Copies of this chain bind each other. A is one copy, B any other.
């Protein structure tokens, strides 16, 4: 028979068992943390009607969509978890309690150009808090607490949650009468770390920003110092613009409560250059960096939006949310050897029968499993050496060999595979 070569599509992650065990552990830690903050689970379909899913999309996003017809239905695969959330909340508005706090961990799809470390199928781990008509800004301070807890749980210490408020940026541009240039200005100032201050000034001149305005913009993005100093210097700019003032007030509140939530000073900061996508976020925005690995980019981002579901409903549904791109994060951490996929088995113990009748080995497995111990029996007829090799290769922590002697005496030897130590235990009540 002609064989078909077993291939996996490029851009689709498929892990070996030891990596998968680690991936699941990380996913579970994120999920457990989301639950600790009382977020409700949600699981929406991977497929949606194209007109529903793409109500808001456009440009680059739309090009990347996996979209097809089945029968006469125009179907698309979801490209994030936010649009399905908007649909869900609009659809079920009357049956939900607000603020609606939900988490969703699921795969999303983007047909990007294949590239190392870029994925076409990837997990997003999202939380959002949706208000009905209004949502207190203190919620914006709670999400950094979730981010902080997640990354601490994952074993990181040296990370920074960077925060800004879009109203501050918008207010500044309004005050300079540059509102219509804001997209372009943000694009340029975003490059300051790469190209330097002078090049930024040059580019701003090219789009006809006045010398005076450029000076103010540069002054603004160069504001530095500790968090409270930054806030103070923002106040001292004396910008007479309502949007700016509200933004600064919100940021001040968020910073106050971020501290109440117990996030240490070294794990958060105000970063006035963060904007994150221009047509979506309207207030607080977040980015999170592992400081020793800035090249990863932001590992957890999000922000506040005025209206989640305006394409589907007249209800005003303000919200705030964050997202962890788990697949890419896992790939990068693995590549940098920052995580170790050293667990190769789910089993705590392997039972190795060296007799023909499996009754006793099975009994021991039952007794162990009833105690909640993950147990595996090597049932294939192999030599002892081959069976032990299996245990070695999978690094199963404990092995119990069962032969005639053990069956007759009722006494077993549990071998700790790491130390080589052996301990006696009973068939009727086995313990590791």
Interface residues of A (CB under 8 A from B): 1, 3-9, 12-17, 20-21, 23-24, 35-49, 51-52, 55, 66-68, 70-71, 73, 75, 86-88, 90-92, 95-97, 99, 101-102, 107, 109, 111, 120-121, 131, 134-136, 138-139, 142, 145, 149, 257, 260-262, 309-314, 345-347, 350, 358-359, 362-363, 366, 369, 372-381, 390, 393-394
Contacts and interface: CB of A to CB of B under 8 A. Distances in A.
16 contacts: A3-B312, A3-B313, A5-B312, A8-B44, A13-B45, A16-B95, A17-B42, A24-B41, A46-B107, A47-B109, A66-B70, A66-B75, A99-B379, A136-B381, A139-B379, A261-B362
Contacts of A52: 4-7
A143 to B, nearest CB: 11
A257 B15 CA distance: 34
Contacts of A24: 41
A275 B262 CA distance: 61
A346 B35 contact: yes
A407 to B, nearest CB: 13
B38 A374 contact: yes
B9 A366 contact: no
B312 A374 contact: no
A278 to B, nearest CB: 19
A142 B379 contact: yes
A357 to B, nearest CB: 9
Contacts of A48: 8-9
Contacts of A107: 46
A255 to B, nearest CB: 13
A40 B66 contact: no
A136 B377 CA distance: 12
A6 B90 contact: yes
Contacts of A390: 97
Given A6-B313, A257-B359, 5 more contacts: A3-B311, A3-B312, A6-B312, A7-B87, A15-B43
A47 B12 contact: yes
B68 A40 contact: no
A313 B373 CA distance: 36
Contacts of A73: 9
Given A1-B310, A36-B375, A91-B7, A380 B121 contact: no
A121 to B, nearest CB: 5
A341 to B, nearest CB: 12
B260 A363 contact: yes
A121 B45 contact: yes
B380 A136 contact: yes
A120 B73 CA distance: 13
Nearest to A66: B70
A250 to B, nearest CB: 14
Contact of A55 (B4, B40, B55, B345): B4
A102 B313 CA distance: 44
A381 B136 CA distance: 7
Contacts of A362: 257, 260-261
